[in-house]
Chain A
């Protein structure tokens, strides 16, 4: 896919990837072999009928193509941009063997953007209102998808969002240069056009409890609150000034627009030399954001090698093109501070790779050699975990691991009427898998509410506990 010049783009927040032109998109679509047993579909977490949407595209029927996409995927403009296609649809494409898989992600993005450019608004089909109410907690990918599908089935849906803006990780986590806010806004408008109400500043568990939602007449609740609490790295110096969690650093810039301080009131510290710890998409986002804020040198510090990096291929490539320096096989062990309590360096161990661990990735071990990276800011991007506010407020909810909700594949929890999906049930994963979970949960909720025989009153069920 075309991308803007690294030298220019690394100084602003405008979108990096440019997308395909109409001509390129149709040409790429015509390369598709339209397999009888398409492997790409099997590689997609929500099983989009990929050959079908591409087939419309071959015939330049763009709205037909979008109809197919929207049937499976509420947020095609988002997924076309943020899905790790190389591990999913594109990675499974039969042409992959020849080294030139169909650029499915780019095509998805083209179709979604085409609609936006032309100002075409696809009217989604919606069942007649059925008089039943469902509450959705969290307005990220899982919540938006569940809400949209439920609205299509005829439910009256309210999404409750804790922050002052809807979109979840799409707005506070993913930077503008990778996923422009206007794209998310448009997708959210689409969800609203289905009749979904979004209530902001509503911290379910605090502002209102799940029990109260039931007693207000919501018959079922979907929990899609994500896994947003940053994981902490317990090394000396981690609370020095100018040590950020990536979550805070990115929230300041993405949600609060700190890059435009003082036009916007939230500041963010701009540093000269920055070390970002971690090898996932969040680490890439934080590093590239630091650079756009004016850092002269930005390091990604990752304890394994390039092959084990969990970030999307495109993000790694873009970061490299923009001059981010990668320190592989490097494990931080101490953040050094000056007498005022500010970061002045990061002491790291050089690592060597040993046998594969439980995750199948080769385990890094200390080589015995260490060195200091002279930086004035450190950003920790080593993962996120479950947020306790909501899950702890629901009595009797079965949890696993660090506080994730136990669900079956259809999003059912152990409590009647309560469903969950996305990162809060799987642990941190992808936008598309959260959407898939939202979709399956919407179907289960539909079954649950319609199947009156198997249904006990949620209030009764709650009072029994």
Chain B
């Protein structure tokens, strides 16, 4: 059992949770994820580790309540426990002395960029962070990013914060004005694809963190397979980060939608069962 030390709502439908997991915290490197199962009837879902405190022995998980499992996870409070957490899994982000790095985050995917930002900054890289969201409320951890990044650019679809528009437009300006060595993008598939297309003509190395369906997360089932450079790769043990210029995003999007009807069915059953009561507070 993994005890929840702290929990808070950081944006509408987005919760952050600090969980006791000393061994995972000790080995956590930027880019790693965990697989968790809430209870014995639960499914196993991957979540990127958004932060860790090696001294306290805790990890921070950030999740958007978009399905039954994340919705249910959101009902848990500090003091309660998650039954199973395994990790840290996946390759760490390659942290080197690059020079100028651009980190692009979309929606809550941004939060998972945070450990990458911190690790890159520790190697004295110059970092521009571009955060994009539909609206201001969905921009998470802006203050944390400002603490480590050299520049933070915000974009929102509705112009409620930063500039109105897409992250790719802000990215293009950075690419035009500076010698960028690497771009790392985390967020919705369409956004990661757009970022990769944006950097392609500039020939800038672009890493994207993929989030395919996973079951066990340790290379045993192949649920998470993705096509990269025409080859099949397992995101859990060979990723989750891949060269954005080589990823078959269309296939990934199609595979991610495979269980959509079951997801809806599970969500409906869950909501019916708890009659609205089990939705956590602070959610609009």
A interface residues with partner B (beta carbon < 8 Å) = 162-164, 172, 200-203, 206-208, 228-230, 232, 234, 238-239, 241-242, 245, 247-248, 251-252, 255-257, 261-267, 269, 340-341, 387-389
Bound together, the chains give a CA A206 to CA B222 distance in angstroms of 19
Bound together, the chains give a CA A263 to CA B269 distance in angstroms of 9
Chain B residues near A242 (CB, 8 Å)? 258
Chain B residues near A388 (CB, 8 Å)? 219, 237
Q: Are B87 and A203 in contact (CB under 8 A)?
A: yes
Q: Which of A232, A257, A387 contacts B232 (CB 8 A)?
A: A232
**Shortest beta-carbon distance from A214 to chain B in Å:** 16
Bound together, the chains give a CA A355 to CA B262 distance in angstroms of 48
* SS of A interface (majority): loop
Interface flag for B135 (CB, 8 Å): no
Interface flag for B66 (CB, 8 Å): no
Q: Are B265 and A262 in contact (CB under 8 A)?
A: yes
**Shortest beta-carbon distance from B20 to chain A in Å:** 13
Which single residue of chain A is at the shortest CB-CB distance from B256?
A241
Interface with A: B35-43, B123-131, B183-191, B200-208, which one?
A: B35-43
B interface residues with partner A (beta carbon < 8 Å) = 23-24, 27, 37, 41-44, 68-69, 83-89, 215-216, 218-223, 225-227, 232, 234, 237, 251, 254-255, 258-259, 262-263, 265-266, 269
Q: Are A266 and B215 in contact (CB under 8 A)?
A: yes
* Residue in B85, B218, B255 with the greatest tally of chain A CB atoms within 10 Å: B218
Q: Are B87 and A207 in contact (CB under 8 A)?
A: yes
Q: Are B220 and A229 in contact (CB under 8 A)?
A: yes
Chain B residues near A164 (CB, 8 Å)? 37, 44, 83-84, 86
Q: Which of A200, A203, A251 contacts B89 (CB 8 A)?
A: A203
Q: Which of B86, B234, B255 contacts A201 (CB 8 A)?
A: B86
Q: Are B42 and A251 in contact (CB under 8 A)?
A: no
Which single residue of chain A is at the shortest CB-CB distance from B38?
A265
Which single residue of chain B is at the shortest CB-CB distance from A173?
B220
Q: Are A207 and B258 in contact (CB under 8 A)?
A: no
Q: Are B87 and A206 in contact (CB under 8 A)?
A: yes
Q: Which of B88, B220, B226 contacts A206 (CB 8 A)?
A: B88
Q: Which of B43, B88, B89 contacts A265 (CB 8 A)?
A: B43
Chain B residues near A263 (CB, 8 Å)? 41
Q: Are A261 and B262 in contact (CB under 8 A)?
A: yes
Bound together, the chains give a CA A255 to CA B41 distance in angstroms of 10
A-B contact pairs, 21 of them (CB 8 A): A163-B218, A164-B86, A202-B86, A203-B218, A207-B27, A228-B219, A232-B225, A239-B227, A241-B258, A242-B258, A245-B221, A248-B222, A261-B262, A264-B43, A265-B266, A266-B44, A266-B215, A267-B266, A269-B259, A341-B255, A389-B237
Beyond A247-B222, A262-B266, 10 additional pairs, beta carbon < 8 A: A172-B216, A207-B24, A245-B221, A248-B222, A256-B44, A264-B43, A267-B263, A341-B254, A341-B255, A387-B237
Q: Which of A162, A172, A201, A239 contacts B251 (CB 8 A)?
A: A239
Q: Are A206 and B83 in contact (CB under 8 A)?
A: no
Q: Are A340 and B254 in contact (CB under 8 A)?
A: yes
**Shortest beta-carbon distance from B25 to chain A in Å:** 11
Chain A residues near B227 (CB, 8 Å)? 239
Chain B residues near A248 (CB, 8 Å)? 215, 221-223
* Residue in A200, A203, A265 with the greatest tally of chain B CB atoms within 10 Å: A265
Q: Are B266 and A251 in contact (CB under 8 A)?
A: no
Chain B residues near A251 (CB, 8 Å)? 215-216, 220-221
Chain A residues near B232 (CB, 8 Å)? 232, 234, 238-239
Given A232-B232, A267-B259, does the pair A162, B86 have CB atoms closer than 8 Å? Answer: yes
